[in-house]
Amino acid sequence: MHILVTNDDGVHAPGIVALADALRPLGNVTVVAPDREMSAVGHALTLHHPLRATELAPDVFAVEGTPTDCVNLGVHRLLSNRPDLVVSGINRGGNLGDDITYSGTVSAAMEANLMGFPAFAISLATTGHDGYYNTAAAFAAQLARTIIVNGLPADTFLNVNVPDLPEDQVQGVAITTQGKRVYEGQIVAKTDPRGRHYFWIGSGIPDFSDEAGTDYFAVSRGKISITPLHLDLTNYASLEVLKNWRLS
Amino acid sequence: MHILVTNDDGVHAPGIVALADALRPLGNVTVVAPDREMSAVGHALTLHHPLRATELAPDVFAVEGTPTDCVNLGVHRLLSNRPDLVVSGINRGGNLGDDITYSGTVSAAMEANLMGFPAFAISLATTGHDGYYNTAAAFAAQLARTIIVNGLPADTFLNVNVPDLPEDQVQGVAITTQGKRVYEGQIVAKTDPRGRHYFWIGSGIPDFSDEAGTDYFAVSRGKISITPLHLDLTNYASLEVLKNWRLS
Amino acid sequence: MHILVTNDDGVHAPGIVALADALRPLGNVTVVAPDREMSAVGHALTLHHPLRATELAPDVFAVEGTPTDCVNLGVHRLLSNRPDLVVSGINRGGNLGDDITYSGTVSAAMEANLMGFPAFAISLATTGHDGYYNTAAAFAAQLARTIIVNGLPADTFLNVNVPDLPEDQVQGVAITTQGKRVYEGQIVAKTDPRGRHYFWIGSGIPDFSDEAGTDYFAVSRGKISITPLHLDLTNYASLEVLKNWRLS
Amino acid sequence: MHILVTNDDGVHAPGIVALADALRPLGNVTVVAPDREMSAVGHALTLHHPLRATELAPDVFAVEGTPTDCVNLGVHRLLSNRPDLVVSGINRGGNLGDDITYSGTVSAAMEANLMGFPAFAISLATTGHDGYYNTAAAFAAQLARTIIVNGLPADTFLNVNVPDLPEDQVQGVAITTQGKRVYEGQIVAKTDPRGRHYFWIGSGIPDFSDEAGTDYFAVSRGKISITPLHLDLTNYASLEVLKNWRLS
């Protein structure tokens, strides 16, 4: 059993340390993670530049790249054999609703899925710096065991969100759909110390439609949310509408 | 009519110049694009750093950021009013199958959709540096007019791929689903001029499952492919399987 | 006569456009400059990553790199023959006193000198965005002609600072020594839109010792300052002191 | 006694670990170093972007920035009090001759000098990945003690190069002048895995004029070289020549 662990908060983040520790009893764990925080990098792949990897400790690699790069480099070059499972996280903060398209954590699991490996992303829905990472880590180990036994459905990887609660206060597990963000962007315009203008994209406090069955609905009620995802973005419901358009 | 134009090949790329020129007869066009090539950056949003924008010419802005940043910055700060349409491209090279999750061009249209604007991405399936950008530009103008008249179906943005052919050799338009990539990654391990090791992710020649109805199937037969996309990555077919798992 | 022109404000900055225009009557001018602002990068050479160059217009190249990279790439790869002169600027803001060690503009001239080419850096001592670039450009042309005729003394490149005045108000030219900065650093500690801490180095308003004969002294009295520089940082006055230390 | 330690090979490099260990018996040591390798960044100061610092362990900070940034951030924000000494290194590879103008290691000591602190840079003249860092570390401790007792001459910081030898094979200590590089640049032109062109600056094997009294001369004969440096780049010998030029 060989598990590849990555994240987008960087190799030194508390979430990945807790995750790797929780998974080690299951088998051989190799950590391949960005050397810096890489939040919101989406499914970015570094094609334009080369990548560097440094082995910080046995089976712990820091990569000057994105989480997607880490999965690629891990599978093709750094691991001694192919992984049986890829786990990404534990992300600091939830990855919910449409916002998962921005997520480096979720994209790492997407990349593993694209390469044919069972994979899940796991995030702790904390808003502060600290949180109950142990709750998420323990669930990650349980889920990993289940996947090793059951496998995953075809064309599926999982997005897991864990409420920031002590383990005994978690209200169970829900299988959910991806929720919808209520968009409220903001951009701050400021002046730097040299008097030059710049902009800074603020994430604000993300807000989601509180619809039953969604990831957001579950987590905000103290449940662990598991959403099965796939790579197919086709909106099948729109195919017929478009076929009636006259384009030549 | 105000159209926001962006891309991921950078503000100086031939595709975006052809696109903006083709759309100008329809209304006011503002170009907000990365100052450098930003291919394969996915749906990356720059939260960690501030952004800079430079107005290179009237209504042409270069941004030190990703295509997703450009849409945000354009809508919130650089455009004088809200856009009626967002068009991203013309990408150098097709954006087909699962590979669209990597695409900065497609992600810009995704971002516009998330913000509530009609949007499409358009790519020219060329493999070389040059290509029939005029074919794609003419179709972009036609499609833009259609969208302005018809609107888009709910929760839908479009991914358009144009074969690299003279306009009169195009074999029509197909409404398609997202194809499947046959994964074949490669990573090159090399030594830099100072003798230090590095890796470089190679995209190889992407290969796709040649299934009828897909984007790849259409483009490889000389047709323009239009795939309706949405932001929902939920794999609904897997929900029931997971609900039978015993997780606590 | 072939002149290589570079800067650190980026290829689109008004200073480099004015400079190239002023030098074109003297011969063939090739502009090789960073695609983005690269202020305060010092004598940085990109060894860790590859470099990309884009030809924006005939004999105008944008490089994803530093001014020092631009001189290297220009000389070794982009110019059709070896330059007779390298001119760096016109920098937005003076490059005075010890601060020249930070300057990308001055470092480009340093690099040219290291490679064996006559070179000077030229800066406009403006504090705002606009300024009398024409004053500096006209002087650059005059100085270039003089260097072509006279050559430069051995192991010497020049650092030129021009007061931000109309040409007819300039109070002459002074040959100067490098002044001394009165150090007053500042670092701003702030919180980004996501609530995470960061620091920003502020340059403050640089202040210099107002000593007769220095670059600062001349420019602050409306004179053009020319300081001959070399690459030798040895403090010869300290050699004897150190020789009396007992180190083994 | 508080010593600030930095480098340009990054916070995880063996040289800085050896250096900090050797200096700890002298007092309180705080390490503030780049999170990534930052070789050849010269005296680059990050003014355009904010900086992030992460405390990896007590009194060990990783900064997303240059060595010059590290000294600034360390002095102004991260250290509890002002340092009595700043030491930069142990660099992997010598910093000799004109090449010191590129060096991030030497520039960190330059920055400390500019801010008014005693400082030296120390480099191990190794060409491979490993080397006798202990030789350099032991000498660093000895030199630090000497500077604490004697102080440094006015306007002086030191550039120390240690031959890559076991301690008992070192041939003594020489007070030297900065040598001269025999310039031999090279740029490699290549094609990336996607078929796009790029350039890579090669440092080649640097060669230096073998002149008695220089840093290179000493190190190549097995001696430790100490060169006193200052910030004044004025070439005083050229002042008179330029004063005879007729410029108006």
* Cβ-contact A111, A76 below 8 angstroms: no
Sign of the Cα torsion A39, A40, A41, A42 reads: positive
> B187: nearest CA in chain D?
D193
**pLDDT bucket at A200, cuts 50 / 70 / 90:** confident
Sign of the Cα torsion D206, D208, D213, D217 reads: positive
Tokens standing for residue C21: 């225009």
Q: Mapping DSSP to helix (H, G, I), strand (E, B) and coil, where does residue B238 land? A: helix
Higher-scoring residue by pLDDT: D214, B39: D214
| Res D246 pLDDT > 90 | no
- Residue B141 belongs to some domain of the structure: yes
From chain A, pick out residues whose CB is under 8 angstroms from the CB of C184: none
- Residue A193 belongs to some domain of the structure: no
Distance between D28 CA and the closest CA of chain C, angstroms: 23
- Cβ-Cβ contacts under 8 Å between B and C: the total is 22
- C28-48: average pLDDT: 90
Domains contained in chain D, number:
1
Higher-scoring residue by pLDDT: C48, A83: A83
What is the pLDDT, as a whole number, of residue D203? Answer: 60
Q: Quick one: CA torsion of B85, B86, B91, B97, rounded to 10 degrees?
A: -90
Contact between chains at B186 and D203 (C-beta distance less than 8 A): no
Confirm or reject contact between B200 and chain D (CB < 8 A). yes
- Residue B112 belongs to some domain of the structure: yes
pLDDT digits (tens, 9 = 90+) for D207-226: 889 999 999 999 999 999 99
- D179-200: average pLDDT: 81
Higher-scoring residue by pLDDT: C66, C48: C66
**pLDDT bucket at D168, cuts 50 / 70 / 90:** very high
Q: Which of C42-46, C158-162, D34-38 has the lowest mean pLDDT?
A: C42-46
Q: What is the mean pLDDT of chain C?
A: 92
Q: Which residue intervals of chain D are DSSP H helices?
A: 14-23, 67-73, 104-114, 133-150, 215-219, 239-243
What is the pLDDT, as a whole number, of residue A202? Answer: 76
pLDDT digits (tens, 9 = 90+) for B184-203: 677 888 888 777 788 888 76
CA distance A6 to A121: 9
What is the pLDDT, as a whole number, of residue A205? Answer: 65
Confirm or reject contact between B175 and chain D (CB < 8 A). no
- Residue D195 belongs to some domain of the structure: no
Residue-number span of the structural domain to which C134 is assigned: 2-180+209-243
What is the pLDDT, as a whole number, of residue A134? Answer: 97
What is the pLDDT, as a whole number, of residue D205? Answer: 65
Confirm or reject contact between C49 and chain A (CB < 8 A). yes
From chain C, pick out residues whose CB is under 8 angstroms from the CB of D177: 232, 234, 236, 239
**Highest mean pLDDT: which of B129-138, C42-51, D42-51?**
B129-138
What is the pLDDT, as a whole number, of residue C169? Answer: 97
Hey, how many other C-beta atoms are within 10 angstroms of the C-beta on A167? 13
- Residue A197 belongs to some domain of the structure: no
| Res D204 pLDDT > 70 | no
CA distance D26 to D36: 27
From chain B, pick out residues whose CB is under 8 angstroms from the CB of D49: 49-50
| Res A193 pLDDT > 90 | no
Neighbouring subunits of B (3+ Cβ pairs under 8 A): A, C, D
CA distance A63 to C191: 27
Q: Which residue intervals of B115-238 are DSSP H helices?
A: 133-150, 215-219
- Residue C159 belongs to some domain of the structure: yes
Q: Which of A227-236, B158-167, C151-160, D123-132 has the lowest mean pLDDT?
A: D123-132
- D193-197: average pLDDT: 77
Question: For the domain that residue A112 is a member of, what is the CATH number?
Answer: 3.40.1210.10
Residues of chain D with pLDDT > 70, as a percent, come to 98
- Residue A217 belongs to some domain of the structure: yes
ipTM of the complex: 0.85
- Residue B248 belongs to some domain of the structure: no
What is the pLDDT, as a whole number, of residue A174? Answer: 97
Higher-scoring residue by pLDDT: D47, B227: B227
Contact between chains at B187 and A76 (C-beta distance less than 8 A): yes
CA distance B41 to B246: 38
